[in-house]
Structure 1
Amino acid sequence: MQLVTQVQAQGDNVRYEIIAPAAHGLYTIDTVTGELRNTYELDLQRSPEVAHTQLLVRAYDMLHPSDSDIMGLNITVLPTNTLAPHCSPAVLLAQVPEDTPIGWTLAMLTCTDPDASNSSLRYQVEGDQRSRYSFRMQGPQLQVNETLDYDSAASARFQYVATILVTDNGQPPLSTHVPVLVTVTPKNEHSPACPASAMFSVPEDAAFGDTVGRVNGTDLDYPFDNIEYSIAGGTGASPPAFYVGPRTGEIHVLSPLDYESKQVYILTVQLRDMANDADPHHQRSALCDITIQVQDTNDQPPRCMPPFQEFFIYSTRDPSLPLTQLQCSDKDESTMLPLTYTLVGGNTNEHFRLAGSTLLHSAFSDPSDSIREPRTFELLVEVTDSFSAPRHSTTATLVVHVMPWATATPSTATTHTTLRKEPLVVTLTERFWAPSPWFVVVLTVSVALLLVALAWLAWKLLCRATGAQTPALPHFPVLLIAGLLRQVSAATPTGQQEQFDGRAQDPMPNTVHQSPRIVVNQTPAANPPS
């Protein structure tokens, strides 16, 4: 609530009250201080009747209410400028080309003053120096004030940021700020240019994704060299052998290359400029021929035809005659050195040798008694295409069967084979349980405590059985009593045996138990002691 005025009266114990109108509800007065305040917001547009109000305020003595005085108040509510102008749109966004003429209207504002419908409004452009002088206000119209150069706007990403200040003539004057964002688009005037050098080389063993080279196209339109690259042709069969990065212009290997199949690729790369014109369809492009030469590398092993051969010869065959000549070749044209042949297996006793790719054998010098046995040699020939890395090789298999040739009756020879005894090592694994030391200690203590407890329990039971009286057993079988007596007699020492008198006796000394007399079918030898 806002303070309107303060009523003051002279006297002691003065109190204040509003007596008319009785139900006004617009104002309230403090009974002690006399401050008059409004009870709610006074809006002349919604409630015109609050413009003029008459109040009667009574001041009285709290101890003597009859001592009072009345004062009349005339309250006039004056209109004030409380609302700023309202503009539509609240934000101005515009996009114009760089060749927009001076005086061109970019946008128009529609502004009103809620406090006064006929209030006049003032418009003014604010912002940095570049934006403030680039535009002007012609009434509510935003117009171009000077040529919009895209080079100067490039530093701000082709954007001008300003603010339109709209002010009313109220008291106090209120203003509204309308943000303005104007984007200037350049004109696409130049086509992309191809690079001066457009030839690259790549080895045929290049892996997927390896970089072959980079197409460095140029464009004089701003942003400079903003080019999109694509391959328009010349990549070969599907799938294509190469692909180009659309933004980087780098050419990469996409599929395996083979020098023996194709040595030269001529790619047609299309260069298209990007974001150089407001119209996305107004683009300029150029086609560039890029030559890629595939370099031969040693990537394939030699091949022998056939890879497997089998021969049958007699043991008396002339060693000067060749057995066979390997037919091996290498598809790699870069391998200029001749192939090398090496026996790597199966040449027992060095009976065979190689002269280049020709296989020769030496005379078989076996004894006459063993030459008649056929022998089979499985020769492995390694064929290598180079002496340095990368080096590839293949293995050819030659099976030679040596047949005996005998002119006399062969003698029979017995061959004894002595088998070498190899030591046999047998490992037996025995599983046992090895408890922890603490477990052994706990178990020992537990067993000792258990034995002590059992001994104590047995001692207590024995003491209880000894101290208790034996009840009469009139109906117990006589034979059982006789047997018990015989056991007691047998346990009594020889020097201290006494005759049984039919009464029960306590084995403990100085203890007498009264027991009923039991008559047994036998006569005691003497009268029992009294």
Structure 2
Amino acid sequence: RWERALLWGVLVVAWETAWGQLHYSIPEEMPKGSFVGNVATDLGLQLPALGDSGVRILDKGRKQYFALYGKTGHLVTAERIDREQLCESVQQCVLRCEMIVKGEIKIYGVEVKITDINDNDPSFREAEKELRLSETTAPGSRFPLPGAHDPDSGQNSVQSYELSGDEHFSLAVQTGPGGDQRPELVLVKTLDREAAAFHELVLRASDGGEPARTGTARIRVAVLDANDNAPVFSQAEYTVRVPEDVPVGSTLVTVTATDPDEGLNGHSKFSLQKVSIKASQIFHLDPETGAITLVRSLDFEEGDSYEMEVQAEDGGGLSDTAKFVITVTDVNDNAPQISVQSALTEISEDAPSGTVSTPPGVRFPLGSGRDPDIGTNSIQNYQLTPNSFFSLVVRESPDGTKQPELVLEKSLDREKQRNHNLILTAVDGGDPVRSGTAQIKISVTDANDNTPIFTKEVYKVQMLENLPEGSLAFQVKATDSDEGTNADITYSFSDISNRARQLFTLDSRTGDVKIKGSLDYEEGKHYEAMVEGKDGGGLSAHAKVHIDIIDVNDNAPTL
């Protein structure tokens, strides 16, 4: 530590006794290794004394901007130097360093002045600036504009401004207290927002370098509106023809009005004037869009024309009016209506093909249908839903009316299909065609075309001889696909011996066979009978019954 303190003491003494100081000047942005000055010559030092270990450069700062070539004695830049970065707010940019010659124990001060070069363009803090001026602003009015900044100094800084744009504006430049230039925008011609809502200008700043550098800012002047224009409708009269069946909610027409003003002064609201109570209930005018919509159905028979007045008024109270006329045209808007909505008819399943079937007491002539339209728009024909059992014949009466008749085309089978649902349609001749329908439900009534069928062809039964009287021995069962009385089956013995008839009884409704006498194996081991099942229509079926009596030990041996 004492050696370091001694060295600093020697350096302080040497600094106090050092003679001479070197001054150099170089432009900024020179490449690394650029020549600054010949230190050996300027200090009168011998080159051998400037060996690599004989001289040291001490920069007064964190960075070392200079280096010394000992073999040549030249002071050079150690890196590229940016004057604006080092001396942003200093007019004179000077870098200082110290050079120590160890052999002589001397310290020499070196000052290097960094001169400016024109390496920066003038720039504006805001590349785009918008000014909002009323179209009533008086000519001669002035408005300050943003100034440009150039980090260069002297002649290389901002020297002049110029404005390009249109004839409404000019540029004035004022000199500030510090000598800085302050640009101002001057209005030289009256503004008209409806002619030009915006004015695009370019402010250009130039420095005094050679060549000169420039920077620009875009100045946009937005002209604010004054309410000096009234709304104007696009048409003096709006005439619309609409069919009477136009859907509710449809937009019939949209009235438009233009106002060259802006904001509330250019925003028009619409209203209906001189409108009847009836029309006000049918039509609605949107005050914002001008759309006239239908809020209630039109009917040509109730009204074929409506007339009203429409007003457009802007936010400043100026207005315009237009006439609005709606003509309603007649269309085929009524569908045929068949007065009988549903009819029920019954047809026996054994009805012969080709029979004309008509609902009892109900017919479907044209007169039973109703269509308020006339001519070809009235009922012209009838149609029947396609099916394989029925067809439709339409006969025309002398007065021109048409009578639909239902024709059976093939035999019916109730057991396969009990009901036939048909749709009768009345069709008019309008464009588009309209129609009305009625449902015809035909129920097929039963014919006794099915015989009963026993569940078994032969009933084989075994029973003990000691069964008590009244016991259920067995049951015969037959089914019939018909319905009603045609399906009611009555049971009876059609062929039975007298002995068997004394022992067994058959219930005619249920088919239950019960024991009514004492069974004895020793007196009769087997019995046979024929059972008949007859439906209410007289058709019958037969089944055999075979009964075996089983012996029980009911007798003691005898000698």
TM-score grouping bracket, smaller chain normalisation? 0.3 to 0.5
TM-score by length of 1: 0.46
